[in-house]
Amino acid sequence: MNVPTDLLSSIGICVGAAALIAAVTWRFRQPLIIAYLATGVIIGPRIGLRFITNEDSIQTVAEIGLILLLFVIGLEIDLRKMASGGLAVLLTGALQVPICIALGLGFFTVVGVTNSQHNNALLYLAACMSLSSTLVVVKILNDKFELDTLPGRITLGVLVIQDLWAVGMLAVQPNILNPNLVPLLGSLWRGAVLVVGGFALSKYVLPYLFRMVAKAPELVLVSALGWCFFLAGAASLIGLSREMGALIAGVSLSTFPYNVDVVAKAVSLRDFFVTLFFVALGMQITIPSLEVLELALAASVFVIVSRVVVVPILYALRLGLRTSIVPAINLAQVSEFSIVIASLGVTLHQINQDVLTVVIVTFAVTSVVSTYMINFSHPIQRLLAAGFKAVGLKDLDSKAELAEAAEVHQPVIFLGFFRDTSSILYEFEHEGSAEESRRFIEKILVIDFNPTVLRELRRKNIKCVYGDIAHADTLRHAGVEHAQL
């Protein structure tokens, strides 16, 4: 049987096979990236059925997918929103990646990973294992309606800062193995020039261009894609990766009023090309040795355990055990960025194929495990919180405070300060008289685990206590059974 290997036939085989395998994967609620990687393995020339014998035939198209992926990720990074996340997001995001890299260097050294002239496995594995998956986390948190909770916002903010760390990694990657400091500083300098130049053009030139084409919606997308590939090409010309240029192009457009429209239209285009990228990546996977599989499983355990580093950072900011633990659970997987960085490392001949395979297998394992961890984050959090309390860490909730609230027997108790509670209080504050509002406020008690919400409620003289309403003990100590409503 002669299987066609020209470009169009290869694309058709890749997309058709990916659609079939993705349908099965989606049925079991697993990340689709795993399906695309599996497709590459199954139809590729190294392990699978050899439907495609030359993966180079779709590499160029796959690279377009990678560029579009990073461009759309950049479009969704709102630096102003990240800054508004406060100290918890900024400090956790700034410290988590370097701490995890340091821990990774120690861990992988202990398990026997070393560096050599042509295989800088130790540094690459430590760096790749420090990043978490935006695609996996956002999808699951959105399904759980937890993106707008305090732990959800902290998780999202940390993921954004991780993306910025990834930009730095992409900037220094071409010269990371050069023992001479000058080329490394040169990479950082060129990266800074690209960032400053890109943002300067986006501030002083692009607004005029987009105003000119805004009346023709299809031209907005074309202009945005033109900007993406312009910066990608500029990055390549000055010795940086095209992927870094695409990411900066996206970030520079993220605050434009046309951003939402561009993302909505570019997503379908991105999804098509990204499918080919991950399928092509799957084709590069070789039959892993037992040593590679053991290392990937060890790396998976390390990734999950290492995310605990965010707990003391958030706990030190007095956010409570629950708000400190849940983001650690949410971040317990490897990023798609890690696959990108490792793939570029192979292209630059800085690591061998086995290291890329370790990263891909670790991504697959942690993505599957993380799906269940995030879905069951609340019972897992309660178990971990009990462990932290056993070693002496105190939570913000106080049984004495809850008991004191129970003795007062507030007639109205709100379990959590969500949209309904906020709307009710708003109505009483703005629609009723000042006396009616005062009398109502005297009757209510709010139980919530968000310290920011509690501070705001106390500022308004609304009685509130810290507590996790998922705990039966919290409700019992608060005297919920005595409430009228």
Question: In whole angstroms, what is the distance from residue 135 CA to residue 51 CA?
Answer: 29
Answer yes or no: is pLDDT of 358 > 70.
Answer: yes
HSE-up of residue 226 (Cα within 13 Å, Cβ side)? 11
Structure-model confidence comparison of residues 131 and 187, the more confident one = 131
Output Rg (C-alpha) for the chain, integer angstroms.
Answer: 25
- What does the domain layout of the chain look like in residue ranges? 57-265+287-387, 399-482
Structure-model confidence comparison of residues 172 and 383, the more confident one = 383
Give the pLDDT confidence score for residue 7 in this predicted structure.
77
Answer yes or no: is pLDDT of 176 > 60.
Answer: yes
Give the pLDDT confidence score for residue 171 in this predicted structure.
80
Write the CB contacts of 315 (distance below 8 Å, at least 6 apart in sequence): 321, 324, 393
Give the pLDDT confidence score for residue 11 in this predicted structure.
86
Question: In whole angstroms, what is the distance from residue 387 CA to residue 306 CA?
Answer: 16
Structure-model confidence comparison of residues 476 and 289, the more confident one = 289
Q: How far is CA 267 from the centre of its chain?
A: 17
Give the pLDDT confidence score for residue 322 in this predicted structure.
83
Write the CB contacts of 406 (distance below 8 Å, at least 6 apart in sequence): 477, 478, 479, 482
Q: Which of 33-42, 132-141, 213-222, 404-413 has the lowest mean pLDDT?
A: 404-413
Give the pLDDT confidence score for residue 391 in this predicted structure.
80
Answer yes or no: is pLDDT of 184 > 60.
Answer: yes
Condensed to tens digits (0 to 9), the pLDDT of residues 386-409 reads: 888 888 777 665 444 444 444 456
Structure-model confidence comparison of residues 243 and 22, the more confident one = 22
HSE-up of residue 229 (Cα within 13 Å, Cβ side)? 8
Give the pLDDT confidence score for residue 472 in this predicted structure.
61
Q: Find where tokens 């997309």 sit.
A: 15
Question: How confident is residue 1, by pLDDT bands cut at 50, 70 and 90?
Answer: very low
Question: How confident is residue 70, by pLDDT bands cut at 50, 70 and 90?
Answer: confident
Question: In whole angstroms, what is the distance from residue 416 CA to residue 454 CA?
Answer: 10
Structure-model confidence comparison of residues 48 and 100, the more confident one = 100
Answer yes or no: is pLDDT of 36 > 80.
Answer: yes
Instruction: Quote the tokens at residue 228.
Output: 């993406």
Structure-model confidence comparison of residues 333 and 410, the more confident one = 333
145-157: average pLDDT: 81
CATH number of 57-265+287-387: 1.20.1530.20
Q: Find where tokens 């008991």 sit.
A: 403
Give the pLDDT confidence score for residue 313 in this predicted structure.
92
16-39: average pLDDT: 87
248-265: average pLDDT: 80
Question: How confident is residue 82, by pLDDT bands cut at 50, 70 and 90?
Answer: low
3-state secondary structure of 116: strand
| Mean per-residue pLDDT over the chain, rounded | 81
Structure-model confidence comparison of residues 407 and 48, the more confident one = 48
Answer yes or no: is pLDDT of 276 > 70.
Answer: yes
Instruction: Quote the tokens at residue 116.
Output: 């050599």
End-to-end CA distance of the chain: 73
Structure-model confidence comparison of residues 335 and 443, the more confident one = 335
Give the pLDDT confidence score for residue 300 in this predicted structure.
96
Condensed to tens digits (0 to 9), the pLDDT of residues 408-459 reads: 566 777 777 766 667 777 666 666 666 667 777 777 787 776 767 777 777 7
Structure-model confidence comparison of residues 351 and 481, the more confident one = 351
Give the pLDDT confidence score for residue 187 in this predicted structure.
77
Question: How confident is residue 2, by pLDDT bands cut at 50, 70 and 90?
Answer: very low
Question: How confident is residue 228, by pLDDT bands cut at 50, 70 and 90?
Answer: very high
271-292: average pLDDT: 84
Q: What percent of the chain has pLDDT over 90?
A: 21
| Long-range CB contact pairs, 207-212, < 8 A, 24+ | 207/256, 210/256, 210/258
454-465: average pLDDT: 75
Answer yes or no: is pLDDT of 227 > 90.
Answer: yes
**Buried b / exposed e along 179-206 (16+ C-beta atoms within 10 A):** eeeebbebbeebbeebbeebeebbeeeb
Q: What percent of the chain has pLDDT over 70?
A: 84
